[in-house]
Amino acid sequence: MTDHVHDLRSVREATDRLLTAVAKMDNAALSEESHLPGWTRGHILAHLARNADALVNVFEGRPMYESASARDADIASDADRSLEEHLTDLRDSGARFLATTEPDQDWSRTVELRNGVTDLAANVPFRRWVEVDLHHVDLNIGYELHHLPEEFTDREIAFLADRWSGRPDVPPVTLRAMPDEVWHTGGTEGTPVVLEGPKDELLGWLAGRGLKGAHLAVVAGDGLPELPPL
């Protein structure tokens, strides 16, 4: 089983990195474009705070979000707040999430996330870590894919490779990171593809981030496949 205690510690560390970086911004920077199309930096910070509260709902047996439209409306309404308001909300919502994980509970139980997705409670801390660290990259403030902790990158590559496995709209893909790390993803239809390159580029392709694998070497197949949106 996933080590949720370790992952919760990683969530705290990632949150501290994020808060330290965001505190160096100013109000004007919040309205500037992030790496996510259509979202400002303020949208990302609002999403991170509301995601923390949504995961509290998950642990307490409520729907993660009231609805998709309510989720989007909350992000839109909170995006234009001041830097001080964003920082306070990030700290407080993050603390609420961590407090919900402190009582004794069955970490092997199944919980429900968005859109009917289920997972073990023990995996939720890693999901929160992913939200915090990947969206830190999305803020476009100097924290890039190659700055992510190596453990995070390895685990997220494995997670996303599994996510795209069995998809009929994705050809069979072998991912290679030198010297000898290999992952497999995609379905069974189409010409097999082999992609090779540094792990941050492999993660960028799988997650639709950064240059989205533009610097990966296609050593077999018909070119870099296009993945569906996450």
Give the tens place of pLDDT for each residue, 167-186.
Answer: 999 999 999 997 789 999 99
Beta strands in the chain (DSSP E): 110-112, 118-120, 173-177, 181-185, 193-196, 217-220
Give the tens place of pLDDT for each residue, 89-124.
Answer: 999 999 999 999 999 999 999 999 999 999 999 999
Residue 165 to residue 171: CA distance in whole angstroms: 9
Give residue 9's pLDDT band: very low, low, confident or very high (50, 70, 90): very high
Give the tens place of pLDDT for each residue, 29-75.
Answer: 999 999 999 999 999 999 999 999 999 999 999 999 999 999 999 99
Q: Are 225 and 186 in contact (CB under 8 A)?
A: yes
Count of Cβ atoms closer than 10 Å to residue 212 Cβ? 16
Residue 225 to residue 67: CA distance in whole angstroms: 32
Give this prediction's pTM: 0.95
What's the start-to-end Cα distance of the chain, in Å?
25
Q: Which two tokens stand for residue 101?
A: 């994980």
Look at residue 1 in the predicted model and tell me its pLDDT.
Answer: 61
Look at residue 167 in the predicted model and tell me its pLDDT.
Answer: 92
